[in-house]
Structure 1
Amino acid sequence: MPPALTKDDKRYPIYDAKYRDIDDEFIPLTESLKETAIRVKYYWNREIKTQIKKGNNVLIVAHGNSLRALLKFLDNLTPGEIIDLDIPTGAPLVYMLDKQLHPVDKYYL
């Protein structure tokens, strides 16, 4: 995990206009893949899974660490496998899921 910021550090996101309306208790001072994976899994279970079960197609657009966390979860990758995983920038990755939402196929467009 990278060293934590302090709340008076100018790089702390609360000083960015995009985050000014967010309660700072929800803005981490540092983050690693482990913390990102916790948030991604929560969002998968709460939002994405719900939409897929309704029969909706879901497009996920995210930064590299979030995508790595999602693929770690979906593909049940080990820490060693996720470190070596290369996700091309701007190349859509399609997942085909079974009724239990387990991957049965995946491919890049």
Structure 2
Amino acid sequence: MSDTTPYEAFSMVDMRAGRIARVELNTEARKPAYKIWIDFGDLGELSTSGQYTALYEAEELVGQMVIGAVNLGSRRIAGFKSEVLMLGVEQANGAVVFLKPERDVALGTKVF
């Protein structure tokens, strides 16, 4: 049994605000997905693959502020290196809505 409290467990995930810099279709993915590069300011640009194609055109995502978990390690998703988990919520039909700050904040700002 872990002595970690729920708040401590939540605090272990480093969530930051970033801005989408570039988006391309991930043609290797089994389900339609984008390759996304996010600028996190001093943390640099990190990449991810996300299933946002049902609700968003690639051009519409570029420039948007997003929230990403930046300390979960990297993994390969459909042949693409994913270094950050861009947070979103799934609708009943399976489409994913990305989470973003209510207004612009400095890139790399920590979520608490």
Q: Taking structure 1 as the reference length, what is the TM-score of the superposition? A: 0.30
Higher helix residue share: 1
Higher strand residue share: 2
Q: Taking structure 2 as the reference length, what is the TM-score of the superposition? A: 0.30
